[in-house]
Each structure stands twice: as structure tokens, then as C-alpha cells.
Amino acid sequence: MRSISDTIQRLARYRAMPQPNSPSTDLKKLKSQGKNAGNLSAWYKVPDDGHPAPALVVVLHGCTQTASGYDQGSGWSKLADDFGFAVLFPEQSRENNANLCFNWYVEADIARDQGEVRSIREMIESMVSDHGVDPGRVYVTGLSAGGAMANALLAAYPEVFAGGAIIAGLPYGTASTVPQAFDRMRGHALPSASALQDILRSASTHKGPWPTVSVWHGTSDLTVDDANGRAIVDQWKGVHDVTEPVFDVAAGHEHLIWKDRSGRDAIELYRISGMGHGTPLDVSSGYGESRAYMLDVGISSTQTIAREWGLTPSSERRPSRNLRRRRR
């Protein structure tokens, strides 16, 4: 298992690499109408062929990454082009975090109506009001620190999201300092399942319905230990009335599904055998590119997640019916 000093050194090396200043794709800069308490920027794309009230996927990059780089690596905007939904890419600044990590361990950035989660919530409102996005079909996904921040958004604003996908992320509300953050990343001192569930319930006064949660983690992840993936599942079991898990195999990888009492896939866990820290890709699909933290392992998380949310056709799985979320 890697040490904290090794992790810091690797982040510093990636920080020193040249980064694009703006997307090289045709994403547009979002002009949010909110106060932007978290001092974030964002890029977006909406269908150009008149799709009425498109769904929206909010995509959060990992540390050392940019919105542009993560889009190109993951293939989300290309998939959105092909199937007619909108995408939103919030982007961290070096003023907030030198390594471009979303501040998933800072209480002032993950508490409802504060900091970075509030900024992203305001961005979503702008997408709804200015670009006609369907407020009942808003989803969020992210990698690493972006995955942890996706989980924070799901916890702080469960009424906003129909579903979320957390890739190599961490459970909500388990760290409040940098040393604690590194401990949790290594899988150390994670709270018990009941404590994790209490943390989630305390994040808002929401009583349901709850967003579906898809968790993805590599079994050989040396940056964020895969104990965190199991902890995220435990955290969300507290609000979903789920049955015993159903074991499945997806492209040769372990896939566990917890259904709620209505038969909907409420929580799922993909454990990608032998994969390190990154987003799982199948580059042969035409969506995504191999690069740092974007790993070609023969299964496309981008395509799979979109299919499970009903954003793309599927002959393998029938998309669950999306429930319109109660607005506050």
C-alpha cells in the first residue's frame, strides 16, 4: 500500500504537467445565475437538434484533471451528442485546490447550501432555467475526488438527482482534514455502516424517494482503497429498503445489485478486477481515450452508466423508470 508521501509526490508531478486552459471540444462556458460560493467554473453542452427537455449528466473530474481532459478521456459529451442528452462539467480552480481536487473533505464545501456543492447546485438550476433541462432527469458522476464530490451532492441534495455514479470515490462526510482524507483514501478508520448511514441522513431533511447509486472501483486501486467502494454501498443501504444482493458478471468483472422492494436496481457495485485508480473504459467502443487515470479495461463505465440511467438504448437491461424528484 502506498504511503501518504508517495501520494503527495505523484500529485505534485501531475500538477507540474501542462494543463489545457479551456476545452478543446465544443463545450461552452456556463454563465451561472447563482452566487457561486464555491468559486467554480463550468462547461456544458446541450443537444442541438431540438430535443425537448433533455436529461442532464453532471460530470466531475478527478485531481490534476480539467473538465476538458476528463470529457475527452471519458467520452461523455460524445455520447451525449449521439443520444441527445445534456452534459455539465463543473471545474475546480487552483485557487481552491492546488491539485485541482474538488474539496470533498472540507465541511464548508460539502454541506447543503454551502461552498462547492452549492455552486454546482446553482449550475444545475441554470441548466434547467436557461437550457430547458428536465429537472426530473438530472444525474451526477465523477472520478476520485470528483466521485467523492458526486457522493456529497447526492447526500446534500438527494431531491435534485435521479441517480449517481461514483467512480473510485469515498463515502460522504468521513473526513474533515487533509490527514483524515489520506487515511480514508487508504481505507483506514472508515466509520461503521450504521455511522455512515447516520451521516448520510443528517445531510438533509429529505425523506425520499432517493437517487439510485452506482459504485465503481478497481480491486488494485492503490490511491483510494476499494474498501471505500463497499463503504459507499453501506452508506446508501440506510435509505434504500433493499433486498439481498444479486450477483452478476459484467464483461468478466464482479457486479452486485441491490434491488428495492419495487424491483428497481437501487444500489450496485462494480469491482473491476486488477484495475488501478481511474475510470474504466472500453476504448474500442469509440467513447473515451486512454490517458492518466483513464484506463482501458474492456468495460466502458460511461456507456454502462448512461444505459442504466435510460439515456441510451439497451437490449441487455431495461432502464428503470425515472421518478421526478420533489423540488424544494
Output the pLDDT for position 7: 47
301 catalytic per annotation: no
Kind of pairing between the strands at 41-45 and 86-91:
antiparallel
Residues 6+ apart with CB under 8 A from 265: 212, 257, 258, 259, 308, 320
As a whole number, mean pLDDT of residues 208-213 equals 96
Residue 327: pLDDT band by 50, 70, 90 thresholds?
A: very low
Worst-scoring range by mean pLDDT, 12-26, 46-60, 180-194, 205-219? 12-26
Residue 144: pLDDT band by 50, 70, 90 thresholds?
A: very high
Q: Which three cell numbers stand for residue 149?
A: 464530490
> Cα dihedral sign for 233, 234, 236, 239?
positive
Output the pLDDT for position 313: 85
Residue 314: pLDDT band by 50, 70, 90 thresholds?
A: low
Output the pLDDT for position 99: 96
Per the CB < 8 A criterion, the answer to whether 231 and 211 are in contact is no
Of the residues 119, 144, 214, 300, only one is catalytic, namely: 144
Question: CA–CA separation, 6 vs 140, rounded Å?
Answer: 30
Quick check: pTM over 0.95?
no
Q: Which SS3 state, helix, strand or coil, does residue 14 take?
A: helix
Output the pLDDT for position 321: 33
Worst-scoring range by mean pLDDT, 37-51, 111-125, 184-198? 37-51
Task: Give, in order, the Cα–Cα distances in Å from 159 to each of 63, 122, 137, 139, 154.
Answer: 27, 14, 11, 11, 8
Task: Give, in order, the Cα–Cα distances in Å from 70 to each of 40, 79, 107, 196.
Answer: 16, 13, 25, 29
More confident residue, 130 or 32: 130
As a whole number, mean pLDDT of residues 136-153 equals 98
Output the pLDDT for position 141: 99
Residues 6+ apart with CB under 8 A from 196: 171, 172, 174, 190, 231, 234, 235, 238
Output the pLDDT for position 25: 62
Residue 263 amino acid letter:
G
Residue spans of the domains in the chain: they are: 4-308
Residues of the chain with pLDDT > 90, as a percent, come to 83
Output the pLDDT for position 240: 96
CA gyration radius, the chain: 18
The reply to whether CATH 3.40.50.1820 applies to domain 4-308 is yes
